[in-house]
Amino acid sequence: MAKTDAKQAINAAANLKKDAIQERTDLTQEEKEEAIKQVEEAAKEARNKVDTAATDAQVVSEKDAGLKAITDVTPNPIAKPTAKQAVQDLADLKKSTIEADKSLTREEKDAAIKQVEDAAKKAKEAIDAAPTNSQVATDRDQGKQAIADVTPVADAKPKSKKRLLNKQLMLRRQPSKLIRT
């Protein structure tokens, strides 16, 4: 195998790998750039080893090793999954807090939990669409703030308690109205 053919195969594999990395939506631009840099380094090293190979067998061996090194580059998405987990953790904590609030009716709890879930979903969608690490961080922080801002409205129980207290006060003031024969 000619060295030129081996280097062309390495370049073609590197280009395919870089294209595949660019198409990934789970990676931020910075993560893509780092993975592409690793691909380019693997390709450069493989081309250099092909150039220094003394025999056709060494050329084939170095080409194969270079192709493997290129395909072994596996970018790891970190920013987006970490940000989405932070949003989910806060949403879970907020929902637990709402569930534990005894001043809320079931309907009030359900409404507040839905607001939390909607805020978390919106934040995760924004994180998924974010192109850069800084945008991921901004979307994470905005999502966490939206979740933290959810304030359940305890309306029914306080009104019921107030009516009950008013009746109790009225009975204390006018006990004769209670005793009728």
For the segment 35-83, what is each residue's pLDDT rounded down to a tens digit? 999 999 999 999 999 999 999 999 999 999 999 999 999 999 999 999 9
Once rounded to an integer, what is the mean pLDDT over residues 129-138? 96
Q: What is the largest CA-CA distance in the chain?
A: 118
pLDDT band with cut points at 50, 70 and 90 for residue 155: confident
- Position 164 confidence tier, pLDDT thresholds 50, 70, 90: low
Specify the long-range contacts of residues 46-53, CB closer than 8 Å, at least 24 apart: 46/10, 46/70, 47/7, 47/10, 47/11, 50/3, 50/6, 50/7, 50/10, 51/3, 51/7, 53/3
Which pLDDT does position 168 carry in this prediction? 61
- The structure tokens listed for 15 are 């280009």
- Neighbouring CB atoms inside 10 A of 24's CB total 13
Q: How confident is the model at residue 23 (pLDDT cuts 50, 70, 90)?
A: very high
Higher-confidence position of 150 and 171: 150
pLDDT in tens, 58-68: 999 999 999 99
